[in-house]
Structure 1
Amino acid sequence: MTLGFYLLYAIIVVLCIVVYRLGFAKKLPVLKNAIVYAVLVIGCFPLTFFGIGLPVAEGLVASAVVLIIYKVRLHQSKNKEA
């Protein structure tokens, strides 16, 4: 059971980082960036408890897919204009 919890925690952390980078990240200094990621990693711990009974990881996957599609379409439209 412990291995499953840590694996779910790692998956949620990776997916949260991907969603943050795709949707919300801005250029920050290194220290502020480290603080943001540290808080994100700590904040994923309660999400893991919710993820045991609720589809947290699946929701993060859906968010990542939507943001990837958005970024690809945005990139295509910018290339079309140029």
Structure 2
Amino acid sequence: MSAPKRPTAAQLQKQCDVWNAANPEGTTVSFEEIVGEGETFRGKSNSAAQVLSGHTAVIWLEGKSGCVCLEHCTVVTDDSEAA
């Protein structure tokens, strides 16, 4: 079984561009340290998404040290904040 293919730099940049077009800085985000294991942090973004060292699409969150992988983030809508 072969390893999964890593996204290209162009694919990562497109992921960032799509995120940035839909989610301005200050968007509330739910972050999962391990995808599928549940929220481990919730906070507002304080940066635009960008490609880190050519290998991962990331954003920075207020109150979180360092950047987080965009694939581990979900936008929190007003409806889910009230729940």
The structure showing larger relative contact order (alpha-carbon pairs under 8 Å, at least 6 residues apart) is 1
TM-score with structure 1 setting the length:
0.32
Structure whose alpha-carbon radius of gyration is higher: 1
TM-score with structure 2 setting the length:
0.31
Higher-helix-fraction structure? 1
